[in-house]
Amino acid sequence: MATRRQRQVTQRRLHESIIDLIAIMNQPHRDEILIAEAGIQLDRALFPLIVGIHRFAPIGVVELADRAGRDHTTVSRQVAKLAELGLVERRPSAEDRRVKEALLTEEGRRVIDAIDAARGRLNQPVFEQWSDRDLVELERLMRRYVNDLVGWSAAEKAADDR
């Protein structure tokens, strides 16, 4: 069993690793490399939005902006551009007709499929030395961590709403 100090050090190192991962994932040139590998024509600024729409659709602009860490007016214009390109469609929310949700079109799904395939090719050298067990364990623990954070955030929000 780890001591309290060991747990604190481990949690600090985990936090540092997550910050490092976020910094790597947010490097603009990484998106450019992925876009080129996917063989798609897409403005780099639109890339995280189409990926976010795919992951969380249907999603409103305000929520998408919050998840992307951008201003909602900027994201609104960028989602409109994705719609002009035929990659997303906008429709009124079933829950709140004032909110327009975004979701992928068939062409948008083809773009995401190309991105996913390119990501797999680019990540292959990174994971080729990993055992299947290690890869599955990383995914399991990452999912557990995210799920626990989501649950904690929801509990915090519910407490704040009271």
One-character DSSP codes across 19-32: HHHHHHHT-HHHHH
Residue 89: per-residue pLDDT: 98
Q: Exposed, middle or buried: residue 87 (CB in 10 Å: 0-12, 13-18, 19+)?
A: buried
Cα–Cα distance for residue pair 109/153, rounded to 1 Å: 30
Residues 155 and 77 in one domain: no
Whether 76 and 122 share a structural domain: yes
Whether residue 36 sits in one domain with residue 112: yes
Q: Are strands 100-104 and 88-92 parallel, antiparallel or unpaired?
A: antiparallel
> For the residues 47-62, what does the mean pLDDT come to?
97
Shared domain for 140 and 160, answered yes or no, is yes
Q: Are 37 and 118 in contact (CB under 8 A)?
A: yes
Q: What percent of the chain has pLDDT over 70?
A: 100
Shared-domain flag, residues 18 and 67: yes
- Give yes or no: residues 78 and 137 share one domain: no
Identify whether residues 63 and 38 lie together within a single domain: yes
Tell whether 1 is covered by a domain: no
Domain assignment of residue 142, given as a range: 130-162
Q: Evaluate the CA torsion angle 28, 90, 157, 153 in order and state its sign.
A: negative
CATH of the domain at 32: 1.10.10.10
pLDDT in tens, 91-125: 999 888 888 999 999 999 999 999 999 999 999 99
Q: Percentage of the chain with pLDDT > 90?
A: 87
Name every residue whose Cβ is closer than 8 Å to that of residue 60 and which is 6 or more positions away in sequence: 93, 99, 100, 101, 102
Task: Report the predicted TM-score, pTM, of the whole model to 2 decimal places.
Answer: 0.88
* Closest by CA position to 149, among listed 14, 7, 13, 20: 14
**Residue that has been written with the tokens 């996913």 in this structure:** 116
How many folded domains does the chain comprise? 2
Q: Are residues 155 and 122 part of one domain?
A: no
| pLDDT value at residue 18 | 96
Instruction: Kindly state whether residues 136 and 63 are assigned to the same domain.
Output: no
Same domain, yes or no: 81 and 135: no
Q: Judge whether 57 lies within some domain.
A: yes
Q: How many CA atoms lie within 13 A of 142 on its CB side?
A: 9
Instruction: Express each pLDDT in 74-98 by its tens digit.
Output: 999 999 999 999 999 999 998 888 8
pLDDT(1) > 90:
no
User: What was the pLDDT predicted at 25?
Assistant: 92
